[in-house]
Structure 1
Amino acid sequence: MARLPLTTASYVARSLKASAQRCVNLYPEANPADAPAPVTFYGTPGTEVWSTLPGSGPVRCLYRASNGVLFAVQGMRLYRYDGLGSWIDLAGMATSTGPVNAADNGNSAVFVDGTLTAPTVNLGNYAVGAMSGDGWLGSAFVWFVDERLVFFQPGTQKYFWTGLLSLAIDPLDFASAEGMPDPIVSMIADHRELWFLGEETMEVYSSSGDATLPFVRYPAGFNHYGCEAKYSVAALDNTIYWLGKNKNGGRMVLRAQNYQPQAISTPAISEEFAKYDRVDDAIAWAYQQDGHPFYVLTFPSASKTWAYDVLTGQWHERAYRTAGNDLIRHRGNCAVFFGGENLVGDFEDGRIYRLDLDVYSDDGAPIARQKDFPHIVTEGRKQFFSRFTLDCEVAVGNPNDEDPQILLSWSDDGGNSWSNPIQMSLGRVGAYQTRARANRLGAARDRVWRVYTAAKAKVAFQGAFAEAAAGTS
């Protein structure tokens, strides 16, 4: 009986003959050296409603201010959470869709959406105001660095800043990120440094201590990689991530390492992104759970979500299963860590969910989980498969799914077409002798196995065992 290990998350190559491994709503975790298998695949977190905003439209922003108070933007309205389960309507936004960015200076918070309308909230008495004056030019981003709030004017190279711990902007307090003539696309603050990402280049600025020109370009921080989607930029694990491009091409995910962009998207991931008609609307959020930092990248037009696990360096799909059994993008539209919980806002309505590894549904809807195995090839000879046993945790039944099932199917043409599925049990509660097993499985020169489940139960598997006899041709 041969062990079929699972070590790779998602890798569907340009040629399925090379690799046809799709991985949906599952992520790998390395086991200790003395474990029976090198890797276990666990189910991604389910979602459970934490709160629901009272308005209409998507959740566009979740922001925990420096005073610990949670703010949210739904549709065209800005809300404050009262800490007791209710939301207080504060102000209006100029737009109803697209991400909203927020930052505060300890005294006041600012919320921007790329227009001239930018509500402000006093963090002491929660009085509402708005950015104004000749120095205010509108912005899609705001970040706090060394007692100043920093913005950039959309479509230009110009960035500008407030006074110290103030919302006032002197019309002369601006500068340009002009290492190259491309306009600023996105901006992020990390480690008290400002990163300006243009269409084809990026520049890093740090504090100068000069009241007239408080930020200066860091000499080693200029690079010929830009940003393909302004809302794809996120800070995680002591660096930044974004969907990047340069003059030679794009559709690659980059991570900054010592100010230098490093591609973390595999050729298979870049090939997948190349299929999408539009990527400039991609949005990203980041979170950490059980020691795994995740960069989560959603393509709204393609209705696809991908997650990169920094701990393992591997990608997997995140998907929501609709009532019609279609897989669409993950429901999370933005994220925040608040009250010890990883929270995400829904992309269609006002639901705010908590991500929980012990919740096995998406607000009651089944979560589709799929893992395709590597090719099994033996010198071009046929193999006759008598048995397949999934190496998985069993006896995972629970009140929401008393006898959870998993489906086994296979491909004998390199991953192009698939057999009808065979149902296997993951075991009722207490049924620890259960074996997720199927028999008399035909013959093939090239076999790819697939397991799929929508069970509302814990999922953890470490590969499989296959019994096969080799043919002579």
Structure 2
Amino acid sequence: MVSVEFGHTSNKDKSGFVSNQRLLNGYAEAMGRAAKSSLPVYAVPGTSRFDQGDTGLDGPCRGMLYVYGKGLYVIAGTRAALFDDAGNATEVTGEIAGSGMVIMAANQETDPKVGIVADSVYYVLDTATNAIAAPGITTLPAPNSVTFLDGYLVFSIADGRIFHTALNDAETVNALSFATATSRSDGLRRIVTHRGALIALGEASLEIWENAGTTPFAFAPIRADIDIGCIAEHTVASVADSLLFVDHNGVVRQLTGSEPVRISTHAIERAIAALSWEERRALYAVYTHFNGHDFYAITSAYWTFEFDVATGLWHERASGDLEYWTARGHASFNGKVVIGSSLDASLHVLDDASYTESGQPYLFVAQSAPLHAFPNGLIVDQLDVDIIPGVGITSDDNEAADPKLMLDWSDDGGTTWTGGRVAALGRVGERFTVASFHQLGAAPRGGRTFRLASSSPVMRGILSAKARVRAIAP
């Protein structure tokens, strides 16, 4: 018997004959050498519906922000609402024009004001009255992002200038309260707070600014020699005390101290490079956390790749029949992880007890590395998959009561697939189930890639796999 390395990660090479590993809607968990499997693979956590009743929201999620002592503010469509931790909504009056994603930050007033930048227009949400308005500050040029630090709402301007408000006053900006990021003439894409400093991201540069206590502008640069920028402002996310974003070359970076380290793989970078310039600019990120895993997902119209900080591995996400995950907008709120939707105004929470996306099934796929004996071909007599057995539940839904695992395979680097074999994952209590597949035929010298898949709404996990093979003389 030989081991078959099933997808702990998504890492497709330019040629599927080199590597065709894929992990869709699944993640690996490092368990150490004492475990039966040191790196088992599980289906990603499901979701359940968060919002209750009529919310007044009228379109896809554009952004959300938890404000301490108030609740969760969500902007979806042109409207906003305040949610308590039970998912009940309170109307926020006023509208935010456009449909693009927004960037939000709250100050430290007794009733905080939330600064919102949407399509280069600045709005203020007053949490005392739950009303939104555009103050029309003539001394503030059109901003493209906002953040908060040391009592100030701070704005980036596309031309490279940085402005800030008066101290804890969201509607006053001194015309002289600005400075310019000057390391390169590449403007600014985003300004964000990280570890008590401002990170000013240009298209091809990164500067770090700190509060210098000066007037009329409070901040000064402490480092301006990093020639790495940001291609898409909505890929910037604070994840586990680090800052992640997609840089100007289509590389995913992680900034922990002051050095942005590459964390993407060549497979991710090829996927980004295949996008048009406009599609790269439209990339956005969602940050979620679950049982010690910090997940950072970047989404285009064609895919979602998600990075697991705990393992340093990438996998893919997709909702239903779509090629991408529909999550958009994210917040941690009173022990819950809330995500919005790119399709509608619905809100959802990660739910360890759910094995669907709020009632909709999702497909879990693990694709193996090529199994080969080059320069010989192989006859595959048997494939045994060590699964988590007996995961069926008592249900009228046969998919849940008698869950299944599907197998197919490719002998041409993933171009075509055949097989259609099915094995049981085990009904409730069937704890000795093993998914075994027999008489799988001959594989050529280039090797064979196996693909396991299950859409059954139950816990799904793969520990390891072994194949009984015989070499074919060349």
Deviation at residue 357 of structure 1 after TM alignment: 3.0
Cα gap change, 1:375/1:253 in structure 2, threshold over 3 Å: closer, same or farther?
A: same
What are the within-5 Å matches in structure 2 for residues 434-453 of structure 1? Answer: 434-444=433-443, 445=445, 446-453=447-454
1:131 aligns with 2:135: yes
1:324-343 deviation digits (Å, cap 9, x = unpaired) = xx333212111011121111
Instruction: Report matched runs for 1:203-282 at 5 Å.
Output: 203-219=207-223, 221-245=224-248, 250-277=249-276, 278-282=279-283
Q: Please tell me whether residue 182 in structure 1 is matched to residue 183 in structure 2.
A: no
Q: Does 1:294 align with 2:298?
A: no
3-state SS in 1 of match to 2:353: coil
Deviation at 1:72, TM superposition (A): 0.8
Counterparts of 1:95 and 1:140, CA distance in 2: 15
Report what 1:342 is aligned to. Answer: 337
1:164-189 residue CA offsets vs partner (Å, 9 max, x unmatched): 12122111111111211111011211
Which residue pairs with 1:91 in the alignment? Answer: 93
Which residue in the other structure is 1:62 paired with?
A: 64
Question: Structure 1: which amino acid aligns with 2:180?
Answer: S
**What secondary structure does 1:222 align onto?**
strand
Q: Does 1:101 align with 2:100?
A: no
Q: In 2, are the aligned partners of 1:6 and 1:39 still within 8 Å (CA)?
A: no
Query: Which position in structure 2 is the counterpart of 1:379?
Result: 374
Give the letter aligned to residue 423 of structure 2: M
How many residues were matched structurally? 460
Change in Cα spacing, 1:91 to 1:151, as seen in structure 2 (3 Å) is farther
Secondary structure of 1:407's counterpart equals: strand
3-state secondary structure, aligned to 1:269: helix
**Kept after mapping to 1: 8 A contact 2:8/2:27:** no
CA contact (8 A) 1:57 1:96 kept: no
Measured in 2, the distance between the counterparts of 1:39 and 1:431 equals 23
Other structure's SS at 1:420 match: strand
Opposite residue 120 of structure 2, the aligned amino acid is T
Q: How does 1:390-429 map to 2 (within 5 A)?
A: 390-398=385-393, 399=395, 400=397, 401-429=400-428
Rounded Cα–Cα distance in structure 2 between residues aligned with 1:91 and 1:329: 33
> Which of 101, 118, 140 lines up with 1:113 in the alignment?
118
Deviations 1:376-396 (A, max 9, x none): 111321222111111110111
Show the counterpart of 1:388.
383
Q: Which amino acid aligns with 2:293?
A: H
Deviates more, 1:130-139 or 1:100-109: 130-139
Residue 10 of structure 2: aligned partner: 10
| Matched-pair contact (CA < 8 Å) for 2:121–2:143 | yes
CA RMSD of aligned residues (A): 1.8
Cα distance between partner residues in 2 of 1:312 and 1:297: 17
Residue 270 of structure 1 aligns to a residue in which SS? helix
Q: Which residue of 2 aligns with 1:320?
A: 319
- Aligned-residue offset at 1:443: 1.3
Q: Is the 8 A contact 2:95 2:132 kept in 1?
A: no
Per-residue CA deviation, residues 194-220 of structure 1 (Å, 9 max, x unaligned), is 11111111111111022323111013x
Q: Which runs of 5+ in 2 are unaligned?
A: none
Distance 2:17 2:207 in 1: 41
Separation of aligned partners in 2, 1:62 and 1:313: 27
CA distance in 1, matches of 2:414, 2:308: 25
After TM superposition, the score normalised by the length of structure 2 is: 0.93
Does 2:456 correspond to 1:460? no
Moved more, 413-422 or 400-409: 413-422
Which stretch shows the higher mean deviation, 335-344 or 48-57?
48-57
Give SS of 2:189's match.
Answer: strand
- Percentage of pairs with the same residue: 27
Q: Is the 8 A contact 2:95 2:133 kept in 1?
A: no
Please report how far the alpha carbon of residue 125 of structure 1 lies from its aligned counterpart in structure 2 after TM superposition. Answer: 5.0
Maintained 8 Å contact 1:369/1:453 = yes
- What amino acid maps onto 1:166 in structure 2? D
Q: Distance in 1 between matches of 2:302 and 2:146?
A: 27
Against the structure 1 CA distance between its residues 83 and 19, is the aligned structure 2 distance closer, same or farther, given a 3 Å change threshold?
closer
Q: Which has the higher strand share?
A: 1
Aligned 8 A contact 2:381 2:468 in 1: yes
User: Residues 134 and 456 (structure 1 numbering): CA distance in 2 closer, same or farther, change over 3 Å?
Assistant: same
How far, CA to CA, are the matches of 1:145 and 1:390 in structure 2?
A: 52
The AA in structure 2 aligned to 1:333 is R
Q: Structure 1, unaligned stretches of length 5 or more?
A: none
Task: Give the SS at the match of 1:51.
Answer: coil
Q: 1:128 Cα deviation (Å)?
A: 5.0
Deviation, 1:7, is 6.5
The residue aligned with 2:203 is 199
